[in-house]
Structure 1
Amino acid sequence: MLPREFSQALPVLLELEANGYDAYFVGGSVRDHLLGRPINDVDIATSALPEEVKSIFRDTVDIGIDHGTILVLTGSGRFEVTTFRTEAGYQDFRRPDSVDFVRSLEEDLKRRDFTINSMAMDARGRILDPFEGRVDLREKRIRTVGLPDERFSEDALRMMRGIRFVAQLGFDMEDDTREAITRHAPLMSHIAVERKTMEFEKILASMNKHLAFNLLVRTGLYRELPMLEGYGDVIEAMGENPAVRSLSKDQAWLYLLFHVMDGGFLKAWRLPKKEIKAREKEKESLKERLYGDWSPQLLYKTGRNGVVNVESVASCISTSPHSIREALNRYDELPIHSVKDIKATGAELIKWKGNPGGPWVKEEIAKIEEAILNGELSNEKASIRKWVTTCNRS
């Protein structure tokens, strides 16, 4: 019996077959099915031409018709259906200059990146594997379909994808494939930063990220990534440090930011401004934490998520003991966790002081905030009013 993700798309395959066309599940969904991993998007490849696919199904969307891809909408989901194709000419080392539709599944699978992604499964669950992807799954090996020099010259991003699969699956990289990455690493200069970032973040989020870091250094590919040239020692250290494996994506970015001595590092990766601001704030907290204990002010400034990130990275850098649970307990015990928790408003301060509004209100709230954190003032409206009107006259 097929897994639910395939069963939902099965009517599309059967309808294509009923109309005289070949149709198969292909790509990552087949790989993950064989590995027993969660299945994400289910892609379908067919001998039917795009216009033929559109004539069979009532609800379709042209999402990439020039490359043969039609989105088929059914009651059980939305499925990408792509015509078997061959590709030729990759002048930008990313996209093919021409696409030709074919009727052969094997010709279609031949153009794919790695053997573990070049398998197909028919409607009855039978696996078609002309390039021995199942052997590589069994041997836990990343290997290109055909000659690696050709595959990486066609699409330079495949080099990072290969390293990413190592990180996600915990596989080894076949020698010829790895050596080809070393030869062709400079081709990454043709790849947009956003695409590099997408692959790199998937590496950072993987449990076997240390394997990827080792490969980035061994192949020299790290030099082609934003602002990492000259930091091979940092990447190598991440690969050798067992504690790095458990870092989340955000924590791994923080680790890198702490070691890369350039203020524009995260901006060079085109990360969202909100994320850049959060990591840079955590970097400042990390510096303080490495040279001392958590103070109420530092905990407050860092925030709950930041405390987890800082303490996690500190444990990778410092030989001193670090406890996330202890740090969070101390954070939770703070009398306030944001200025919104203060039991007094700016309007009340104006009323109590009898002064017109102005910059002093913000300054007064900052003083109240500090006094509460220092344990000098109780976070109660009556106490704050008394403190403002008698103990803190200005």
Structure 2
Amino acid sequence: MAISVKMDKIPTEFQEALPILRKIEAAGYEAYFVGGSVRDTLLHRPIHDVDIATSAYPSEVKSLFKRTVDTGIEHGTVMILDHGNGYEVTTFRTESGYQDYRRPDEVNFVRSLKEDLKRRDFTINALAMSESGQITDLFGGLADMDAKIIRAVGDPNERFNEDALRMMRAIRFASQLDFKIEAKTLAGIKCHSQLLAKIAVERTHSEFVKMMMGVDAQNGLNLAIETNLYKYMPELGNWLAQLQTIVNSHFRLTNEPQVWSLLAFYFNFSAEAIRTFLKKWKTANKVINDVILTTELLFRMSSNELSNWDLYRAGRENVENAVTILNAISTSDFSGYVADYDHLPITDKKQLKITGGQLIKDGILQPSPQLGETLSYLEKAVVDAKVANTQPALISATKSFINEDD
């Protein structure tokens, strides 16, 4: 049964996009705000992207605006550039034939809002809002939102066969929103979990990280295990016992390096194992390096074997990552390590009170590999508080180091 309610106050993000809606409607077409931005507004969550759906076909949309970009023209999406903002406007459409379990083989543009909303993944995402704030709900999304339920639009089996990534999105929403997955939808995920192997790793990666950063990440991870989705994620199928242990811990993660560092810590991964594991997840190199440094800190902090050099080498951000994880999963308080980092004699090599150029100028060293070795020695000696960070002390330490080499 269709339900229509009105939002009393339209958030600023929508108000800024109202001229787009009004211009489309003035030309005789329908236009609505749709999807996640409407859902998040109703849930009083931050709004990210404001998406618009319309009965106007792509060519008709492009004829109305001076500045457009064909971001997904084959699927009916045109980006309208307006006062520094970009708004994706997508034509109402139906889809059919999903041979790769991700993208439709055929897209047909239609003039019906109902037909467009029917193809969406979950009822809480199948909502449309007019310029006046009127919410159109054709599939019970508002009731499901009140009940904190994730429910597929129509037949879950059809929805997951159309796009297997929707199974990951379901457990991600359960984690982010602290919602439960409705029984038939959950059964559909269990039945079709193997289809996740058809999805590009990069897409699974994005959903998994978001899930692990949710307010109820333990629930999301438990659902991944319960539905067998974890078996079709890179390498996770080999670590069931450790994953179940993580589920029984209490953690709240705030960034991607923390997500992977928590796993690497429980999996007892070496630096090389981390690199191999995360390469299979198509993880960015910087994230991989941060995870290696953070995980090494986790092992050292938990065994109380941390040195100044460990802190320095990791950097403040990774020290904070390690402390966040250990404080979440342990009864001890590791926050003091952040203060220890802040009290290091230096936190960057550039803070050394001497340079290679000065050592050469003073005739102490010549350009050579020994110069680099000496500067590395001074850097570590200052960090470990064995040499004071003053020019006289550094010059004296340099001469001693050279003489030892000789």
**Common topology (TM > 0.5):** yes
Out of 45, 61, 78, which is 2:69 matched to?
Answer: 61
Q: Distance in 2 between matches of 1:80 and 1:370?
A: 52
Is the 1:247–1:313 Cα contact (8 Å) retained in structure 2? Answer: no
Q: Distance in 2 between matches of 1:355 and 1:31?
A: 66
Q: Distance in 2 between matches of 1:252 and 1:138?
A: 30
* More moved, 262-271 vs 71-80: 71-80
Equivalent in the alignment of 1:171: 179
Matched, 1:156 2:168: no
Give how far 1:127 is off.
Answer: 1.0
Is the 2:212–2:253 Cα contact (8 Å) retained in structure 1? Answer: no
Give how far 1:390 is off.
Answer: 5.3
Amino acid at match of 2:334: S
Equivalent in the alignment of 2:219: 211
Give how far 1:318 is off.
Answer: 5.3
Normalised to the residue count of structure 2, the TM-score between the two structures is: 0.91
Matched, 1:222 2:230: yes
Equivalent in the alignment of 2:138: 130
Out of 60, 81, 85, which is 1:77 matched to?
Answer: 85
Residues 391 and 233 (structure 1 numbering): CA distance in 2 closer, same or farther, change over 3 Å?
Answer: closer
Q: Distance in 1 between matches of 2:313 and 2:64?
A: 59
Give how far 1:20 is off.
Answer: 1.6
Give how far 1:290 is off.
Answer: 2.2
Q: Distance in 2 between matches of 1:234 and 1:223?
A: 13
* More moved, 153-162 vs 336-345: 336-345
Amino acid at match of 1:3: P
4+ residue stretches of structure 1 with deviation over 6 A? none
* More moved, 353-362 vs 128-137: 353-362
Out of 307, 310, 314, which is 2:322 matched to?
Answer: 310
Residues 348 and 175 (structure 1 numbering): CA distance in 2 closer, same or farther, change over 3 Å?
Answer: same
Equivalent in the alignment of 1:370: 380
Q: Distance in 2 between matches of 1:191 and 1:93?
A: 7
Equivalent in the alignment of 1:6: 14
Give how far 1:266 is off.
Answer: 1.0
Is the 1:157–1:188 Cα contact (8 Å) retained in structure 2? Answer: yes
Q: Distance in 2 between matches of 1:300 and 1:57?
A: 53
The alignment partner of 2:95 has SS state of: strand
Give how far 1:43 is off.
Answer: 1.2
The alignment partner of 1:314 has SS state of: helix
Out of 113, 119, 125, which is 1:111 matched to?
Answer: 119
The alignment partner of 2:237 has SS state of: coil
Amino acid at match of 2:259: A
Is the 1:336–1:342 Cα contact (8 Å) retained in structure 2? Answer: yes
The alignment partner of 1:361 has SS state of: helix
Matched, 1:249 2:244: no
Is the 1:8–1:76 Cα contact (8 Å) retained in structure 2? Answer: no
Amino acid at match of 2:311: L
Out of 316, 323, 340, which is 1:330 matched to?
Answer: 340
Is the 2:261–2:294 Cα contact (8 Å) retained in structure 1? Answer: yes
- Percent identical across equivalent pairs? 44
Deviation string for 1:195-252 (max 9, x for gaps)? 111111211222221111111111110111111012122222222212x124543212
Normalised to the residue count of structure 1, the TM-score between the two structures is: 0.94
Is the 2:297–2:306 Cα contact (8 Å) retained in structure 1? Answer: no
Equivalent in the alignment of 2:28: 20
Equivalent in the alignment of 2:366: 356
Q: Distance in 1 between matches of 2:364 and 2:254?
A: 52
Deviation string for 1:298-340 (max 9, x for gaps)? 2222221121122233345556x2322x111111111111222
Q: Distance in 2 between matches of 1:232 and 1:282?
A: 23
The alignment partner of 1:229 has SS state of: helix
Q: Distance in 2 between matches of 1:358 and 1:288?
A: 35
Residues 11 and 374 (structure 1 numbering): CA distance in 2 closer, same or farther, change over 3 Å?
Answer: closer
Is the 1:343–1:380 Cα contact (8 Å) retained in structure 2? Answer: yes
Equivalent in the alignment of 1:197: 205
Amino acid at match of 1:283: T
The alignment partner of 1:45 has SS state of: strand
Give how far 1:292 is off.
Answer: 2.1
Q: Distance in 2 between matches of 1:119 and 1:84?
A: 13
Is the 1:109–1:118 Cα contact (8 Å) retained in structure 2? Answer: yes
Give how far 1:375 is off.
Answer: 2.9
Deviation string for 1:3-31 (max 9, x for gaps)? 21111111222222222211111111111
Q: Distance in 1 between matches of 2:400 and 2:130?
A: 81
Structure 2 residue runs of 5 or longer lacking an equivalent are: 1-8
**RMSD of aligned Cα (Å):** 1.9
Out of 338, 355, 364, which is 1:345 matched to?
Answer: 355
